[in-house]
A and B are shown apart, each in its own frame.
Chain A
Amino acid sequence: MCWSLRFCWAFLAVYGADYIMNPNNRNGLSRLFYNPTARSLFFQALILGLLLYFVMTIVGNVMTNLNQRGISTGFGFLSQPAGFGISQTLIEYNETFTFGRTFFVGLLNTLLVSFLGVIAATFLGVVVGISRISPNWLLRKISMVYVEILRNIPLLLQIFFWYYVVLQTLPRPRDSLSFGESIFINIRGVFVPKPVPDAGFSFYIALLVAAVVAVVALTIWAKRRMRDTGQQFPVFWTSIAILFGTAVIGFFITGRPIMLDYPELRGLNFRGGITILPELIALWFALTIYTSTYIGEIVRSGIESVSHGQTEACRALGLNEGHRMKLVILPQAMRVMIPPMTSQYLNLTKNSSLATAIGYPDLVSVFAGTTLNQTGQAIEIISMTMLVYLTISLLVSAFMNWFNRRVALVER
Chain B
Amino acid sequence: MKKIATLVGATVAIMATAGAHANTLETVKNRGAVQCGVSDGLPGFSATDSSGRWQGIDADVCRAVAAAVFGDAEKVNFVSLTATERFTALQSGEIDILSRNTTWTLTRDASLGLNFTGVNYYDGQGFLVSKDLGVDTAKELDGASVCIQSGTTTELNLADYFRVNGMSYEPVLYDTSDQTVGGFEAGRCDVLTSDQSQLYALRIQLSDPDSAVVLPEVISKEPLGPVVRQGDDAWFNVVKWSLYAMINAEEMGITTANAEEMKSSNDPGIQRFLGVSGNMGELLGVSNDWAFNISKQVGNYGEVFERTVGTGSPLNISRGLNALWSDGGLQYAPPVR
The interface of chain A, by Cβ under 8 A from chain B, is 3, 57-58, 61-62, 64-66, 68-72, 83-87, 95-96, 156, 164, 168-169, 172, 187-188, 266-269, 271, 278, 353-354, 356-357, 359, 361, 364-365, 368-370, 372-376, 378-379, 382
Task: Report which of B18, B112, B183 forms a contact with A3, defined as CB distance below 8 A.
Answer: B18
- Contacts A70-B230, A364-B4, A382-B8; is A65 near B19 (CB within 8 Å)? yes
CA distance A368 to B10 in the complex (A): 14
Which chain A positions have C-beta within 8 A of B100? none
CA distance A70 to B229 in the complex (A): 9
- Nearest first, the 5 closest Cβ-Cβ pairs linking A and B are A373-B151, A71-B113, A95-B159, A69-B113, A70-B113
Pairs A–B under 8 Å by Cβ, sample size 18 = A61-B17, A61-B18, A66-B14, A68-B19, A69-B20, A70-B230, A71-B91, A84-B155, A95-B159, A95-B163, A168-B182, A187-B187, A269-B145, A359-B183, A373-B84, A373-B150, A379-B11, A379-B14
CA distance A369 to B142 in the complex (A): 26
- Contacts A83-B156, A84-B156, A87-B172; is A354 near B1 (CB within 8 Å)? yes
CA distance A156 to B91 in the complex (A): 29
Whether a CB of chain A sits under 8 angstroms from the CB of B186 is yes
Cβ of A356 and Cβ of B171 under 8 Å apart? no
CA distance A58 to B107 in the complex (A): 27
Which chain A positions have C-beta within 8 A of B156? 83-84, 374
Cβ of A64 and Cβ of B151 under 8 Å apart? no
Which chain B positions have C-beta within 8 A of A382? 7-8, 11
CA distance A373 to B105 in the complex (A): 13
Which residue, A66, A68, A353, has most C-beta atoms of chain B within 10 A? Answer: A68
Given contacts A61-B14, A359-B179, 13 further A-B contacts (CB under 8 A): A61-B19, A62-B15, A64-B18, A68-B22, A85-B155, A85-B169, A188-B170, A268-B190, A353-B4, A356-B3, A359-B172, A374-B156, A375-B111
- Contacts A68-B19, A168-B188, A370-B155; is A269 near B171 (CB within 8 Å)? no
Task: Report which of B3, B169, B175 forms a contact with A359, defined as CB distance below 8 A.
Answer: B175
Which chain B positions have C-beta within 8 A of A269? 143-145, 170, 190
Whether a CB of chain A sits under 8 angstroms from the CB of B83 is yes
Cβ of A369 and Cβ of B10 under 8 Å apart? no
Which residue, A70, A169, A172, has most C-beta atoms of chain B within 10 A? Answer: A70
Whether a CB of chain A sits under 8 angstroms from the CB of B158 is yes
- Contacts A66-B113, A69-B91, A370-B151; is A87 near B171 (CB within 8 Å)? yes
Q: How far is the CB of B106 from chain A (nearest CB, A)?
A: 12
Which chain B positions have C-beta within 8 A of A62? 14-15
Cβ of A85 and Cβ of B158 under 8 Å apart? yes
Cβ of B175 and Cβ of A356 under 8 Å apart? yes
Contact with A along B1-35 (1 / 0, CB 8 A): 10110011011001111111010000000000000
CA distance A379 to B19 in the complex (A): 17
Cβ of A357 and Cβ of B230 under 8 Å apart? no
Whether a CB of chain A sits under 8 angstroms from the CB of B220 is no
CA distance A85 to B182 in the complex (A): 21
Cβ of B143 and Cβ of A168 under 8 Å apart? no
Cβ of B186 and Cβ of A271 under 8 Å apart? no
Cβ of B188 and Cβ of A278 under 8 Å apart? yes
Cβ of B159 and Cβ of A268 under 8 Å apart? no
Interface residues on B, range: 35 or more
Which chain A positions have C-beta within 8 A of B14? 61-62, 65-66, 378-379
CA distance A70 to B113 in the complex (A): 4
Cβ of B175 and Cβ of A357 under 8 Å apart? yes
CA distance A254 to B112 in the complex (A): 60
CA distance A84 to B83 in the complex (A): 15
Closest to B142 in A: A267
- Contacts A164-B182, A187-B187; is A84 near B159 (CB within 8 Å)? yes
Which chain A positions have C-beta within 8 A of B150? 359, 365, 369-370, 373
Q: How far is the CB of A95 from chain B (nearest CB, A)?
A: 4
**Count, A-B residue pairs, CB within 8 A:** 160
CA distance A32 to B183 in the complex (A): 72
Q: How far is the CB of B31 from chain A (nearest CB, A)?
A: 20
Closest to A354 in B: B1
Closest to A84 in B: B155
CA distance A359 to B84 in the complex (A): 13
Which residue, B110, B112, B152, has most C-beta atoms of chain A within 10 A? Answer: B112
Cβ of A87 and Cβ of B170 under 8 Å apart? yes
Q: How far is the CB of A126 from chain B (nearest CB, A)?
A: 30
Q: How far is the CB of B228 from chain A (nearest CB, A)?
A: 12
Cβ of A378 and Cβ of B7 under 8 Å apart? yes
Which chain B positions have C-beta within 8 A of A364? 4
CA distance A225 to B71 in the complex (A): 95
Which chain B positions have C-beta within 8 A of A266? 143
- Contacts A187-B186, A359-B175, A376-B111; is A69 near B17 (CB within 8 Å)? no
- Contacts A66-B113, A372-B84; is A168 near B91 (CB within 8 Å)? no
Contact with A along B58-88 (1 / 0, CB 8 A): 0000000000000000000000000110011
Which chain A positions have C-beta within 8 A of B319? none
Which chain A positions have C-beta within 8 A of B182? 164, 168
CA distance A279 to B15 in the complex (A): 35
Cβ of A268 and Cβ of B171 under 8 Å apart? no
Cβ of B145 and Cβ of A376 under 8 Å apart? no
Which chain A positions have C-beta within 8 A of B332? none
CA distance A246 to B168 in the complex (A): 40
Q: How far is the CB of B268 from chain A (nearest CB, A)?
A: 39
CA distance A272 to B182 in the complex (A): 27
Which chain A positions have C-beta within 8 A of B113? 66, 69-71, 376
CA distance A16 to B162 in the complex (A): 69
Which chain B positions have C-beta within 8 A of A169? 186
Cβ of B20 and Cβ of A369 under 8 Å apart? no
Q: How far is the CB of A59 from chain B (nearest CB, A)?
A: 8
Task: Report which of A57, A68, A164, A365 forms a contact with B173, defined as CB distance below 8 A.
Answer: A365
Task: Report which of B143, B172, B188 forms a contact with A268, defined as CB distance below 8 A.
Answer: B143
CA distance A64 to B151 in the complex (A): 27
Cβ of A268 and Cβ of B141 under 8 Å apart? yes
Cβ of B158 and Cβ of A268 under 8 Å apart? no
Which chain B positions have C-beta within 8 A of A172? 187
Which chain A positions have C-beta within 8 A of B152? 373
Which chain A positions have C-beta within 8 A of B159? 83-85, 95
Which chain B positions have C-beta within 8 A of A87? 170-173
Closest to A360 in B: B173
Q: How far is the CB of A40 from chain B (nearest CB, A)?
A: 31
CB-CB contacts below 8 Å: B159-212 with A:
159-160, 162-163, 169-175, 179, 182-183, 186-188, 190
Closest to A386 in B: B8
Cβ of A72 and Cβ of B175 under 8 Å apart? no
Which chain A positions have C-beta within 8 A of B88? 378
Cβ of B169 and Cβ of A372 under 8 Å apart? no
